[in-house]
Structure 1
Amino acid sequence: MRQLLLILLIAIITAGCGSSSPKKESSYVSAKNIPDLQQIRESGQIRVVTNYNSTNYFVYKGQPMGYQFELLQEFANFMNLRLEVSVNNNLQENIDRLANGELDLIASNLAVTREGEQKVAFTEPHSYSRQVLVQQAYSSERSGSSERIHNELIRNQLDLGGKTIYVQKGSAFVQRLRSLSNEIGDSIHIVEIPDYEVEQLIELVAEGEIEYTVSDENLARVNLNFYPNIDIETAISFPQKQAWAVNRNSPELLNAVNNWMVGFKKTARYQRIHRKYFENRRSGHIVNSGFHSIKGGQVSVYDDIIRAESERFDWDWRLIASIIYQESRFIPDAESWAGAMGLMQLMPQTAERFGVHAITSPRENIRGGMQLLQWLDERMSLRIEDPEERLKFVLASYNVGIGHVLDGMRLAEKYGRSPIIWYDNVDYYVLNKSNPKYYNDPVVQFGYCRGEEPYHYVREILERYEHYKNVLR
C-alpha cells in the first residue's frame, strides 16, 4: 500500500510539473499565415524588401541595378520565381512585415547577431565586413582659401567615451556600440535615427552636421568615392557575417536560400557582381551622374518632356519612361527593322494619323505615342473595366497591335480561360499565336504573330515601372 501511494504521489507531482508553466512563445514565432517554399512556389513570386542606397538598389540610366538586386535576380531566376521588390530603409518595419507574413525575404547587409536571431532566421552570409567609425578627415575649405582644416581623428576606441554617435535605429550598430561602451567602461551617447539610412548619415558627417556615425566597411569604402573628406579607418568590430533574413517559420525557404548562396558564392558571376559594386572605382562616377536615382534623380535627358506630355493625358510619367526605355533606350533617332522610329517607336502611318510631322522630334514622338496609348485604352475600356488589368492589354496592343490581342481574348474565352485577365490567361494564347493550332483557329481573325515579344514586353515594362515607382517621385 505504501509503495502504491508513493507511485501515485510521484505521478501527480510529475503531471503537475508538466502542465504548470506553458511555454511562452516569442511574438516573432507564429506559423500562422507565414508562407514557406511550397506556398511561394505556388504563388510564382517571391516578395522581397531591400535598402535603397548607392550599392544595394537604385536606377541608373533607366535600368534597375545594385548588389542586392543582382543577387536577388540570380536567386529568383534559379528558383524560377518572379521577383517582387519593395524598398524600405526602416529595419524594424521590415522585421515586423517579415514576422506577419507580408514579406518572404529581407535582402540587405544584415549583421548576424544573437539578438537578431531571436527575431529572424539569418541565411548563409553573402559577404563579410567590419563596422567602422565614420568621421571627418578634414572640414570644408576656409572662405577665400584652398587650405583644408584637418580634424583630430579618433584612432583608439577608448576615446569614444563621452562622444555622441548617430546611427540607424534598430541596426546592429546600436548593439555593437552598447557592447563597446561596456568594454571601454565609459558612456557612449547613442542617438538612434529612425528615418535616416546609413548613407544619409554618412553625408551628414561629410557636411559637418554630425560628428560621427557607424557603417559597415564595404559601404563606407564606396562612399569614400564621393565624400573624400571622410575617414573610415577606425574599426569598432571584428569582421562580421552579412546575410539576408527569412521568417523563423520558413525552414524550407531558408534551406533553399542557403543551398543556393553556398554554391553561387563560388562562381565567377558572384565575384564579378561583388567587384562591380564594392571594388570598381567607377562606382563613384556612376553615383555622381545625373542619371543615378539617388543623386540626380533622372532617368533620361527627356524626363521633363516625358513628365509634361504624360500630364497632358493623365498618365504616370514613370510608366511612359519605362515604355520608352523598352522601345528605344532613350535614343531619339532609333529605327527598328520594321521602320518604327523615335523614342516611342512610331510607325510612319501611326505618326501621320496622330499628326506627328517630325517623327524623331522627342516631344512630337512622345505626344504621338501618348495619343496611341490613349486610343488603345479607350478601346479596351469597352471590354475591361479594371484599369490595372486593362493596362496590360493596352501595352500588349501597343507592341503587337490590338487585333492580335483581341484574337488572344477570343481564344482564351473559347478554351475556358478568362478573356479579361492577362497573366496566365490571354497572354498564354498571344504567346502561342505562332502555333498553327491557334493561329488557324476559326475565332482568330488576324492570323500568325510572334507572340513571344508582346508576352515579355508587358512583363518587362511593368517590372521596370515598379522599380521606377520604388525610387523615383
Structure 2
Amino acid sequence: MRHRITRGLTGLILVVTLAGTIVYCTNKDFSSSGMIFSSSVAGAREANIATNSVLAQIKARGELVALTRYNTSSYFIYKGQPMGYEYEMLKLLANYLDVDLKIVATDDWSGMFDALENGQGDIIAANLIVSESRATKLAFTDSYRITRQVLVQRKPDGWRKMTTHGLNASLIRDPVALIGRTVSVRQSSAYYTSLVELSRELGGNINIDPIPEDVETEELIKLVAEGKIDFTVADEDVARLNQAYFSNLDVETVLSLPQSIAWAVRKDAPHLLSEVNKWLNSLQSTYDPTFNVIYKKYYKNNQAFARHMTSAYSSKNGDKISEYDDLFRINASRIGWDWRLIAAQAFEESHFDIHTESRMGAVGMMQLLPTTGKDFGANNLRNPAENIRAGASYLKWLDEYWSKEILDPNERLKFVLASYNAGQGHIQDARRLATKYGYSSDLWDGNVALFLLKKSKKKYYNDPIVRFGYCRGIEPFNYVKGVLNRYEHYKKMLT
C-alpha cells in the first residue's frame, strides 16, 4: 500500500492512504516503529471497510433484500400468508440482524445471479447447490442442508402390477443407460453442470435439453409425470416430496455424491457472510428445534405439500387469496383502491376470520366496532359482505379526511392505515409533535411515525400540544408496516 505523507505544524504526521483513510501519528511513532504505523493504518482501513460494508448498509437502511424464486420450497403464498422454507429461514435471519425483510422473487434463475451482482439484492436464498463454477463468482455461506442429485423418471404403464425386479428392470438404474437419452434441465442449474461432467466421464453423449431459465424444477418434475418430457434431475428431498404427489414417478437413481445447499452473497460482502454463518451455526448447534421444525414442515409433510400444489388459494397453482376475493374486488372498485390492498389489510386485522372479536369489541374480518359499523351501513358485522363493505367505506372516509392535508397519495395511504388502527386523533398528535421538534408533519417514515412511537412516553403524551393522550404507538407503527409488506407480497403474485 502506498501513502501520501504530510508533516503538520503540531508535530503530527498526516497519512492519507490511497483508499482515502486518514491516520494521525507522532513523528516518534512514525520514525521509530514501522509496526505501530502499519497497525494504525490497517486498523483504520478495517474500520473504514466495516463502516461501508454490505452489512453496514443493510443495518443503515433497516432492510435485508433477499433474492429467491417462486416455488413450494422457497417462497409462495397460501391463503393470504407468505410461506416457504427459505422465506421462514430468511425471516429468522432478518430478526437476528434486527432489520426488516424484503423479498425479491426474480423472473428467472440467471436474472437472480445478475441481480445479486448488480447490488439489487443482498443475499440469494433459493436452494442453491454449492458448485465450483458458482464459487468463482459467489461467496457461499456455510451449508445448511445436504442433498444428492437424483434422476426423475416416469414409471411404465401398469407399474402397480409389476414385481419390484420387473419395475427396476424397466427403469434406468445405471447412469450409463442415460447415454443417448435426453434429460431436460436449466442451463444455469448445477444439474446441467453435473450432467456435462457425467457425460464426459461415461465417454458417451447424454443429450442435455436446456430448458428456459424461468421454469422451476417442480414444473419440470410435473412435465415428467405428465409424459411431456422423459427425464429431469432434482435435489433428492425435493424429488421425494413431489413423488408423494405424483405417484407414477421414480426418484431412486442417484446421480451425484452428497452436495451442500447454501445461501450466497457477493464476494465483496465478507462481514455479511461472517454474520450469516454465525447465525446459522448458532441456530444449528442449539437445542432450539426451530431449524428442524421448519425443514420438516416443508420437506417431510406430504399432505401439506399436496394442499399447496392443488389449492386455489396457493400462489403456486391458484389465483386466489381468500374465499372473499370477489367482495374485496367489488368494494375496492367502489372506493378506487387496489383489491389486494384491502385483502392485505383484512388479513392483518383478522386472518380472514369473520367470527373473530377483539378484547375491545371490534368484530369480524375488518375489525370494526359496532358503532363504526353502523356509521358506515353495517347492521350485522358477522356478515362478510356487510363487514367488508363498511370497512372499505371507512377507508374511503379516512382517505378523504387526509386528502386535505397529505397531498402525496403514497404517503397518505400510511396515514389512512395508521388512523384505521389507532384513530386519526393520535396521528394528528404525532404530526403536531413532529412539527414542534423540527420534523415533517407530512411524511410518515422517520417523521410522524417516529413521534407516534414516542407517544407512549410521558414526556410526549403529557405535552400541552397533545390532545389525545397516551398511545401505544408500536401497534399502529407495526400495523402500517405489516399491511404494506403483505400488499407487496400479494402484488408480486396475483393480478
TM-score, scaled to structure 2: 0.84
Q: Does 1:121 align with 2:139?
A: yes
CA RMSD in angstroms comes to: 2.2
- Relative to structure 1, the CA distance from residue 169 to residue 379 in structure 2 (aligned partners, 3 Å threshold; closer, same or farther) is farther
> Does the residue aligned with 1:234 lie in a helix, a strand or coil?
strand
Please say if residues 126 and 243 of structure 1, whose CA atoms lie closer than 8 Å, have aligned partners that are also in contact.
Answer: yes
Which residue in the other structure is 1:270 paired with? 291
Which residue in the other structure is 1:442 paired with? 464
Alpha-carbon shift at residue 385 of structure 1 (Å)? 2.4
Q: Which has the higher contact order (CA 8 A, sep 6+)?
A: 1
Within 1, Cα distance between the matches of 2:323 and 2:220? 30
Within 1, Cα distance between the matches of 2:79 and 2:146? 30
1:160-213 CA-partner distances (Å, limit 9, x unpaired): 111111112311111111001101111111122222111111111111111111
Which residue in the other structure is 1:102 paired with? 120
Alignment match of 1:88 (pick from 106, 114, 119): 106
Please say if residues 89 and 197 of structure 1, whose CA atoms lie closer than 8 Å, have aligned partners that are also in contact.
Answer: no
Which residue in the other structure is 2:72 paired with? 54
1:122-169 CA-partner distances (Å, limit 9, x unpaired): 11111111111111124599xxxx989979311110011111111123
1:67-124 CA-partner distances (Å, limit 9, x unpaired): 1011111111111111111112522111111111111101111111111112211111
- Relative to structure 1, the CA distance from residue 140 to residue 45 in structure 2 (aligned partners, 3 Å threshold; closer, same or farther) is farther
Alignment match of 1:235 (pick from 235, 245, 254): 254
> Does the residue aligned with 1:128 lie in a helix, a strand or coil?
strand
Alignment match of 1:330 (pick from 352, 355, 361): 352
Within 2, Cα distance between the matches of 1:164 and 1:89? 26
Which residue in the other structure is 1:190 paired with? 208
> Does the residue aligned with 1:291 lie in a helix, a strand or coil?
coil
> Does the residue aligned with 2:150 lie in a helix, a strand or coil?
strand
Within 2, Cα distance between the matches of 1:462 and 1:140? 52
Please say if residues 222 and 283 of structure 1, whose CA atoms lie closer than 8 Å, have aligned partners that are also in contact.
Answer: no
Which residue in the other structure is 1:433 paired with? 455
- Relative to structure 1, the CA distance from residue 437 to residue 140 in structure 2 (aligned partners, 3 Å threshold; closer, same or farther) is farther
> Does the residue aligned with 1:191 lie in a helix, a strand or coil?
strand
Please say if residues 35 and 104 of structure 1, whose CA atoms lie closer than 8 Å, have aligned partners that are also in contact.
Answer: no
Which residue in the other structure is 1:24 paired with? none
- AA in 1 matched with 2:439: R
Which residue in the other structure is 2:172 paired with? 154
Which residue in the other structure is 1:341 paired with? 363
Please say if residues 146 and 259 of structure 2, whose CA atoms lie closer than 8 Å, have aligned partners that are also in contact.
Answer: yes
- AA in 1 matched with 2:267: R
Within 1, Cα distance between the matches of 2:107 and 2:224? 19
What is the correspondence of 1:35-50 to structure 2 with a 5 Å cutoff?
A: 36-50=54-68
Please say if residues 365 and 387 of structure 2, whose CA atoms lie closer than 8 Å, have aligned partners that are also in contact.
Answer: yes
- Relative to structure 1, the CA distance from residue 112 to residue 212 in structure 2 (aligned partners, 3 Å threshold; closer, same or farther) is same
What is the correspondence of 1:308-457 to structure 2 with a 5 Å cutoff?
A: 308-457=330-479
Within 1, Cα distance between the matches of 2:424 and 2:196? 63
1:346-393 CA-partner distances (Å, limit 9, x unpaired): 222222222223322211211111111111112222222222222111
Alignment match of 2:266 (pick from 226, 240, 247): 247
TM-score, scaled to structure 1: 0.88
Q: Does 1:79 align with 2:97?
A: yes
Alignment match of 1:133 (pick from 151, 162, 177): 151
Which residue in the other structure is 2:226 paired with? 207
Please say if residues 341 and 359 of structure 1, whose CA atoms lie closer than 8 Å, have aligned partners that are also in contact.
Answer: yes
Which residue in the other structure is 2:317 paired with? 295
Alpha-carbon shift at residue 334 of structure 1 (Å)? 2.0
1:301-343 CA-partner distances (Å, limit 9, x unpaired): 2122212222222222221111111212212122222222121
Alpha-carbon shift at residue 280 of structure 1 (Å)? 2.4
Q: Does 1:169 align with 2:205?
A: no
- AA in 2 matched with 1:209: K
Alpha-carbon shift at residue 461 of structure 1 (Å)? 1.4
Within 2, Cα distance between the matches of 1:398 and 1:339? 15
Structure 1: stretches of 5+ with no match in the other structure: 1-30
- Relative to structure 1, the CA distance from residue 257 to residue 365 in structure 2 (aligned partners, 3 Å threshold; closer, same or farther) is same
Please say if residues 53 and 271 of structure 2, whose CA atoms lie closer than 8 Å, have aligned partners that are also in contact.
Answer: no
1:394-414 CA-partner distances (Å, limit 9, x unpaired): 110011111111111111111
Using the aligned pairs only, state the percent identity. Answer: 46
Alpha-carbon shift at residue 449 of structure 1 (Å)? 2.2
> Does the residue aligned with 1:339 lie in a helix, a strand or coil?
coil
- AA in 2 matched with 1:299: I
- Relative to structure 1, the CA distance from residue 119 to residue 436 in structure 2 (aligned partners, 3 Å threshold; closer, same or farther) is same
Please say if residues 125 and 264 of structure 2, whose CA atoms lie closer than 8 Å, have aligned partners that are also in contact.
Answer: yes
